[in-house]
Every structure is written in structure tokens, then in C-alpha cells.
Chain A
Amino acid sequence: MADTNDQAQADGSTQEAATTDQQPDSLSGNGTSDEPVEGPWTQQSIDIPDGPLEETLSFETYPADQVEHDELDIDDDEVTDLLRSMLLQRRFENRCRQMYQRQKISGFLHLYIGQEAVSTGSVNAIRLGEDSIITAYRDHGMGLAMGMSPEEGMAELFGKKTGCSKGKGGSMHFFDAEQKMMGGHGIVGAHIPLAAGIGFAEKYKGTDNVCLCFFGDGAMHQGAFREACNLAGIYDLPVVFICENNQYAMGTAVDRAFAKPDLFKHGYNFDFPCSLASGMDVFSVNKAVQDHVENYARQGQPSMLEVRTYRYQGHSITDPAEYRAEGELEERKSEDAIVRLERYMTDRGLATEEEIEAMDEEVKQEVTDAIDAADAADFPDEEALYDDVYAQEDFPFTA
């Protein structure tokens, strides 16, 4: 993948004259590290060079239909697993919509339909339980992709005590500490600094684990995004910032909201390697995330990836999405990641249509079983209202 930093510096004198090329690379951020700059004092010149200053930028891209599974160290069985995961996410979300209509699910409900390749391709590129993932409120797909059972997920949505967050979090707050699924966060952009901290802890403890931080296009407007990127940059944290650009922040189209709608380029402001991938091909996503994770291992540098995708449903369950252009949804659906993977598998003899159909039926049954289990489970006991507010078990709550 392209390293924009190198590219910029290869441009020569302007970069060298304008800024220091010495970058502190430890946790300190104060100029002391294994290969220290001279001190905490500024290394920056105030002698302004003749202009214009020019930089050559380079960004890697990962279009759809460009990479095959065997090039990604994905074996044939794993391809089947990827399809199964994507089908599970879609069937789960479809039934969620129905369960909301039946008033089994309340509150906000943001469906992931259309974006399944992003979660699935990403999770396959990391070591589950070691590397971590944190995401925003459209989190069901990510939870399932990371191995959360549909029962735990559906029970959470039903508000049951068997839910992944014991019925305390609901749709926007899926957590699975064991798998290092760090949430599920409802305030737009607020989880991005947490990713910096999760990565900070990995570096502090000396592991080689990375944190994938997913956020939507809308979250990039928040100051939290900028602050987190800058901290990750100065402390060289093992974080891959992944903008899951599904084209709309609620109803505001991405190009109506950004002065610079090429979102991947925003990472350049932090000297991050940046790239752009299709979110409608699970292998494109997988390759991109693998490269970004490897980049950290090789360069010790955070990075930014924009994945372009599309949500088929409205922002939330109550949004009819009337802001779309006529025919837009149908056009995007023609790029559907599940249809693409099914075609890929049948074209290469990895599965027959019948086998795929049978797998889909199994997955549907799995979701139906999850609904039945969630329905049968109990709501939390009333005392649970006071559980898990504090680690302290005898906290004297104000009456």
C-alpha cells in the first residue's frame, strides 16, 4: 500500500525545509524515544522556504472484483464461512425489522443491510480475541461477524437478561469483551478516542495487537475524530481508522456535508497512509484491512481506510429514506456484496446454487431459533437496575 508520508518526503526539499522529518515514535509524544530527537524543544524551522510548496500524494485503492480468495490466504471452506456470516447478518437484520414492527424490539434500531461485506471482510483479516474492534451504533452485523451468537444479539434487542449486554444496552450497545468487541457506541464519533486508548493499552503492554475503529461518514465531522487521529499519530498507536462511508449521515448525503468528500484523504492530515476500498466486495475489504494491519506491523504507524458502501434501509427503522434519488437504491443493490460472493462461488465451483440455498435456509432457521430463545428468555430482574453501575458491590445509591 502507499505510504503517503514517504511519498511526500520523497518530494524532497520542500518537505524537508518546511517541517522536521524526525518523528518521535514512542508512547511519549514529547520527543523522547528509542531514537530520540534532541529534546522536547521544537525542531521546526521558522525560516520560510520559497514557494510554492508542492507535495505528491499517493493513495492505494481496492476496487471490487480485483482480488481472489486464494491470494488472500483464504481457503475454500473459509469462503463458505464468509458467505454464511454475511447471510446471517442479513437474515438477522431482516427479522429485526419484523420484530420491531411486532413491538418485540423498541428504541432505536439501525439496520446493517447492504454493508455486510465490511464487517465480514474486516473480521476475517484480524486475529479474533487478540485484535479488537470498536464501532458505532449500527453494530449488529459487526457483533455477529465477530462470533456473537444470534441468540445473544436478539435477546439484547428484546431487552432480555440473556442478551450480550444483559438487556442494559439494546441495539446500539452490543459488547463482547471476550472477543474484544469493544462496542457498540451510540454517540456519533465519541468512540473514536476510545479506539486510541484501546490501541494505547496494547502498545503499552507490548503486544502486537491492533484495534480496528469503525465509524460512519457522519462521525468524521466530530472533533473527536480529529483529536483521536492526532493522538494516534503522535503516539504511533496500533489503530486502523476505518470510515464506513454508507453515503448518508442520517439523511445528509456525504457530498453535501464535506468540504472534501474524498474521506480517505482526511487521514493525510495526520501523515497516515490512506486508502480507499469497495465495501461491496468482501475480498476488497479483506485485502485492504490486511494491508492496513500489516502496515502497522511494518511501519508502526496508524492509518486510515475509507470503505465505500451503501445501506439499503433508512438511517433507522422509522426512516423511509425519501432523500434518495429515484432508482438509486436499485442501482446500488445491483452491486450487492452477497450476490457478488454467491456468483463468485458458483463461477468457481466452490458451491452450487442448491448448496447456497440450503445454507441460507439453515441461517434463516438459526435466526428463527434466536427469536424463539429471546422471546422465551426473562427480562432482567428488577434488582438488576442497580447492578453494574459500579464495580463496588455495596455502593450506597442515593434514595
Chain B
Amino acid sequence: MATLQFREALRAAMTEEMERDENIFLIGEEVAEYDGAYKVSKGMLDQFGSDRVIDSPISELGFSGLGIGAAMNGLRPIVEFMTFNFSFVAFDQVVNNASNIRYMSGGQFDLPIVFRGPNGAAGQLAATHSNSTEALYSNFPGLKVVSPSIPDDGKGLLKTAIREDDPVVFLESELMYGMKDEVSEESDYTIPLGEARVAREGDDVTIVAHSKSYHVAMEAADQLEEQGYEAEVIDPRTIKPLDIETIVQSVVKTNRLVVVDESNPFASIASEVTHQVQDRAFDYLDAPILRVTAPDTPAPYAPNLLDEYMPSAEETVDACRRVLYAE
């Protein structure tokens, strides 16, 4: 194991895969000469040269479509969005072309492409730069959606995503890029998509949370422990396909579920998990499922409003106490 920042773990994944397969290339804004807007691709231009680490103009629609066309014609592109907020100007390419071409062609084309970059709020950036896109992208058949919360998963899942023959939306976080943790150094370290990670075991309440919300959930679990409650924290890691079995097994044990998801609440990942759990484990639930999400508002700029907007450990503890009828 090595201690790596999240960005370094992602870079290791891309670098190892590009060393293994010369059909993989990286394209996006500022990925080469600038070393990556968030330094995820730092040094990759020097290692792989400008034919494989390619700066694009500010043209998300164009370079996303270029990636999809290249994938149809035998390459394995990694398309970096500087943030997924900017993927909206490429939305048609991702949700109409990448997701549908295999199906509409009767399976004649593989679409081995990864769209990756940071997702969700990242401080006081205001509404247009703080969108959580996982619910949107996971709504479209044909796409897979991955959202790791720790560096080791980041590496193992990104390597898998790059090897997939299906388009993968790989959601990172600006606020987690500097996070340091132990990361596997195995060269062939892959984590299958669609397998959740039980990060902490407990019998009293299940908390499901991905990406930054996972860290909120873990903090809440620590606070709950001090209050005498053992929370089981499950990180789905992959949003689509969702490992609902692992979540249901936990709920069968704890009989209580809280979902932490920094997306806006309507038609969110939290909504989906809630539906699927009540569908499969209704008789095991001892309390209504509660969600801790952003409010149904755009993300604000003012610091006090942003604090109010983001899901917190305190809100998560409160929700857990409510499903535990601890008040």
C-alpha cells in the first residue's frame, strides 16, 4: 500500500491503464500543458506525449462527441470534464449518443469511454458550479455511473471503468482530490462495478452514502457511537448498477435506513434507494426511511447559506436518532 492523494490514485489508475493499452488516450480542457485544472493528470503529458494526453479547446460538446466517435472506431477514450457542471453543454452527446448507439445499432458498436471529472458542490461556487449530476446520468439506460469516496476505491474503480466496453460516467470531487489514504499498489488492482463497500459494521441503523456524503456519514457514525448507537455505513461506490442487495441485507439486520446524498432531493439517488429498499424489505423496516440531502434549491454562495445547504453530520445524526425513535 502507498499513501496517496485521491488525485494521485486517479492518476495512477489512468497511467497504469495507458501503459497497458495504447488505445487509451486522455482528452479534456487543460489536461496536458496545464497538468490538469485540478492536477489529476499532472506529469501525464511528459510520460505519454501529446498524441495521448490532449488539450482540447473549451468545447465540451465537441470533445465529448469526438471521444464517442473514437470509441466507435476502436479507441478507449478518457474524457475529462473540468467539472461535471460543464457536461451539460455536452449532455446530448453523453445521454443521446454514448448511451444509445450500441442499442440503436443492434449491438454493432462498443462504446468503451469514460467521462470523468469532479461532481457536486465544491465550496462557495454558487449554483451553476455546484450541481450533482449522478441522478441525471443514472437515469439513462446504457450509461454506468461510478462515484467513489476514498482514494483506493478511486483507483480500483477507475481502472475497471477504463476497461469497460460500456460508457462510464465517473464522478469525482474537487474537495476530495487532496484527501490522503492508503492505496493499493498492485498493478492489476481493479474493483468490480456494482459492488458496494460496507465501510463500518453496526446493528442499529444503516446509513447509505456515496462520494463526499460518505464522509459525512462516517462522521455521523462516530457521533452516534458516542451516543451508544452502532451505525452500519454502506458506500455504494457504483451508482449504476446499484448494489441494492448489500443495502437490503443491512436493512434486514438493522431495520432502519438513512440515506445521505448531497443531490437535490427530488428524483435523487436517495429517492431511488428509498424506493428499492421499501420494495424489497418493507416488512423489515421499523421506521420510515429518511433522507439527508441538499434542499430543493440551487446552491447558494453566502457561506452561512451554503452550510445550511450541504448535508451535515449533525443532520445525519438527527435523522438516525429519529429512525431509532431516540428522541
Residues of A within 8 A of B (CB): 26-30, 32-33, 40, 132, 134, 163-169, 173, 175-177, 182-185, 187, 190-202, 204-205, 223-224, 227-228, 230-231, 234-235, 387-392, 395-399
Contacts and interface: CB of A to CB of B under 8 A. Distances in A.
Nearest to B243: A396
A175 B106 contact: yes
A213 to B, nearest CB: 10
Interface in B27-46: 32-33
Contacts of B73: 132, 182, 197-198, 201-202
Contacts of A164: 106
Contact of A27 (B51, B59, B107): B51
Given A26-B50, A175-B109, A389 B142 contact: yes
25 contacts: A27-B51, A27-B54, A28-B54, A29-B55, A29-B56, A168-B106, A176-B108, A183-B101, A183-B105, A184-B105, A190-B97, A193-B61, A193-B63, A193-B69, A194-B68, A197-B69, A197-B71, A197-B77, A204-B25, A205-B75, A227-B63, A228-B62, A231-B57, A235-B54, A390-B142
Interface of B: 25, 32-33, 49-51, 54-57, 59, 61-75, 77, 92-93, 96-97, 101-111, 141-142, 144, 164-166, 194, 241-242, 276, 279
Given A29-B54, A198-B73, A187 B96 contact: yes
Given A168-B103, A175-B105, A204 B164 contact: no
B105 A223 contact: no
Nearest to A190: B92
Contacts of B241: 395-396
B127 to A, nearest CB: 23
A27 B27 CA distance: 11
A197 B68 contact: yes
Nearest to B67: A197
A227 B55 contact: no
A167 B105 CA distance: 9
A177 B109 contact: yes
Contact of B51 (A176, A192, A204, A224): A204
Contacts of B111: 391
A157 to B, nearest CB: 14
A105 B68 CA distance: 30
Contacts of A391: 102, 110-111, 164-166
B211 to A, nearest CB: 20
A33 B65 CA distance: 24
Given A30-B32, A173-B104, A190-B97, 15 more contacts: A29-B50, A168-B106, A169-B104, A183-B101, A187-B97, A197-B71, A204-B75, A224-B65, A228-B62, A230-B57, A235-B54, A390-B102, A391-B165, A392-B165, A399-B279
